[in-house]
Amino acid sequence: MTDAYGAPRWVRFVVAITAGVLLAASIPPSIMWPLVFVGIFLWDRLLATSSAKARFGWTFLITTTWLHIAMLWMFDLTVPGYFIAAILYALYFAIVALFVPADAKHRRLVLPGAIALGELARWSFPFGGVPLANLALTQVNTPLGQTARLAGPLLVIVAVVVVGQALSSALDRNWRALGVAAALVVATVGAAALHPRADFVDEVRAGVVQGGGPTRTRASADQQPVVLARHVEATKLLTTSPELILWPENVVNPGGFLPFETAAQVVSQVAVDNNAVLLPGWFYAVNNGTATVNYHTAVNKEGVELDRYDKVRIVPFGEYVPLRGLIERFSGELPARDVIPGTGPAIVDTPLGRVGVSISWEAFFERRARDSVRNGAQLLTNPTNGSSFWLTQVHTQQVASNQLRAIENDRWMLMVGPTGMSAIIDNDGNLLQRSGIGERVVLEETVQLLEGRTLSSRVGYWPVLLAGLVSLFYGAFAQRRQTPEVSNV
């Protein structure tokens, strides 16, 4: 059987699967980032059909393949949730594909905004969204990644789609369209390079402490003193007398095996012994055991706690259970208590300067780092705990996300996990140091404190969102007025 596309249906099925595999293969932990452009090229070619139903179906097949592969880590946490999430998010892209005209001229104008809106939708709904495995992560080490300084990760995604469509224009020998695409990409990359940079304030010797230990583990009460002790011992490996020491999320976990007062004394003594500002992560039950808190503090070199940031963006089904009464009927592996979300700005004040804090999951949401910079952060940090995750997909995608956060806000970024990965990233998004999984290691670097705001930190994703919506309206209008042309693979 063939259709207006000019190829048998089984061939188009193989092309769609291939496109999805290529998109997934371009995302960390893979380093094969050029594959994303080939995946977009094939996606663009499959949309050259007169049938809206076909455009919906082929897009769904492409994106569900991509997301099932790139989000495989979720399978280990919740099998039903893994399949539901990948299918639901693929539907977002399939729906916006209905607005993409089939003819090449209009498709070039609409598809970049449509894919950007599909990404934004899955980053937002339901339950706050899941921004992992997104196409912007493919470009953190390329010139396209630098465009995040202008309008965040959505602009990077638009640029990726434009490059992929340029390959399609080249196949059609449409040199004018190819030239326009190249000019747009070069102009955007050039604008990012010419963007005013943040002002230098000071330098700080920083130490990132990864205590090490086994991965793919779940939290247990008897590990409370063990995890803390690992980080106390690992801190002794520091050799450069850092002024600022960063510990991971929730390594200070008071409970039945670790009294709160003992934990506080240990933390205070580490700061005093190292004559440094210490930023440790706390996690424990409150309200008579009915809830928990997840926060980071700033402790000065005299061992006195100065400030605290409570995690705002908490993890659905990991730190709280939406619709708990209903969900508990179908799953017995849920957190017994919900984390109380914070409400304050994503910063802690220290004697060295104001430090931005995005705890764990918050690193994937560009709004959290933007909130830090809007409130005066001169350095960004991402304390996390990835010890329960299977594979390295979450870890490597989190490092890439932090590279984007550094570029978007023109700030240095320190990332630390108890069992990895940990990283030091400069304000151009360059990965200066990165740890392995499970090892006990410290990363030390002289980092810069900076001030000033980028265009991205001021406007966020709004320009791309508005342009994407306009493109969808334009696509709907164009389809009503014109008969789509047919393209061949």
Is pLDDT above 80 for 276? Answer: yes
Residue 469 to residues 120, 158, 363, 418: CA-CA distances in angstroms? Answer: 12, 13, 26, 42
Query: 51 pLDDT band (50/70/90 cuts)?
Result: confident
Separation between Cα atoms, residue 146 and residue 150, nearest integer Å:
8
Q: DSSP 3-state assignment of 25?
A: helix
DSSP structural state of residue 208: E
Written as six digits, the tokens of 157 are: 């995604």
Query: 326 pLDDT band (50/70/90 cuts)?
Result: low
Separation between Cα atoms, residue 465 and residue 486, nearest integer Å:
29
Is pLDDT above 80 for 78? Answer: no
Its pTM stands at 0.94
More confident position, 482 or 27: 27
If 0-12 CB within 10 Å is exposed, 13-18 middle and 19+ buried, where does residue 227 land? buried
Contact 65, 17 (CB under 8 A): yes
Contact 448, 203 (CB under 8 A): yes
Contact 165, 108 (CB under 8 A): yes
Domain ranges of the chain: 9-195+460-481, 199-453
Tokens 């200066």: give the residue: 432
Backbone conformation region of residue 278, classed left if phi is above 0, alpha if psi is from -120 to 50, else beta? beta
Is pLDDT above 80 for 481? Answer: no
Query: 315 pLDDT band (50/70/90 cuts)?
Result: confident
Predicted local distance difference test score (pLDDT) of residue 5: 52
Q: DSSP 3-state assignment of 413?
A: strand
Average pLDDT over residues 150-175: 97
Tokens 């506080």: give the residue: 264
Predicted local distance difference test score (pLDDT) of residue 323: 67
Predicted local distance difference test score (pLDDT) of residue 322: 76
Is pLDDT above 60 for 483? Answer: no
Query: 380 pLDDT band (50/70/90 cuts)?
Result: very high
If 0-12 CB within 10 Å is exposed, 13-18 middle and 19+ buried, where does residue 488 land? exposed
Query: 334 pLDDT band (50/70/90 cuts)?
Result: low
Average pLDDT over residues 236-254: 97
Query: 485 pLDDT band (50/70/90 cuts)?
Result: very low
Predicted local distance difference test score (pLDDT) of residue 271: 98
Predicted local distance difference test score (pLDDT) of residue 331: 58
Angle, helix 366-374 to helix 393-409, in steps of 10 degrees: 40
Question: Per residue in 79-120, pLDDT tens?
Answer: 888 899 999 999 999 999 999 999 999 999 999 999 999 999
Is pLDDT above 50 for 161? Answer: yes
Mean pLDDT over all residues of the chain? 93
199-453 CATH fold:
Nitrilase/N-carbamoyl-D-aminoacid amidohydrolase (3.60.110)
Average pLDDT over residues 39-56: 92
Sort strands 291-299 and 338-339 into parallel, antiparallel or unpaired: parallel
Contact 129, 151 (CB under 8 A): no
Question: Per residue in 389-428, pLDDT tens?
Answer: 888 999 999 999 999 999 999 999 999 999 989 999 999 9
Contact 204, 352 (CB under 8 A): yes
If 0-12 CB within 10 Å is exposed, 13-18 middle and 19+ buried, where does residue 136 land? buried
Percent of the chain with pLDDT over 70: 94
Contact 461, 366 (CB under 8 A): yes
> Cα 156 to chain center, whole Å?
13
